[in-house]
Amino acid sequence: MPSKRKSRGRSKGSKGSSSLVQCTNCGAMVPRDKAKRNTRRVSFVEPQLAKELRAKGTYLASWVDTKYYCISCAVHRGIVNVRAESERHSRAKRRY
């Protein structure tokens, strides 16, 4: 059977099986190395107020919010784009 990608869409190398994570959007169980991870910093304070508080020297706590998406949900949300066969081999980050 032909394979579409050399890595078969995973980043595990020759590790064997990897742990599963749950897709944030649809709840599907996806291998951790195949799932698309979306990480962002979240703060309780609104940006305008945070700017004023930082100017006065206040420390504002924020936490890192990590979400995992299966491939179909990542494509649907625009996190990953469908690429032509000639573009698939490049890992260059594209700016839109």
Which H, E and C letters describe 11-40, residue by residue? CCCCCCCCCEEECCCCCCEEECCCCEEEEE
Q: Quick: pLDDT tens for 49-92.
A: 999 999 999 999 999 999 999 999 999 999 988 888 888 777 76
pTM: 0.74
* Predicted local distance difference test score (pLDDT) of residue 1: 79
Q: State the pLDDT at residue 66.
A: 95
- Report the sign of the C-alpha dihedral through residues 81, 86, 88, 91, in that order: negative
According to CATH, what is the number of the domain 20-77? Answer: 3.30.1740.20
* Percentage with pLDDT > 90 across the chain: 60
Which residue do the tokens 């595990």 mark? Answer: 12
**C-alpha distances in Å from residue 37, one per residue of 12, 23, 68:** 15, 10, 5
Q: Does 95 score more than 60 pLDDT?
A: no
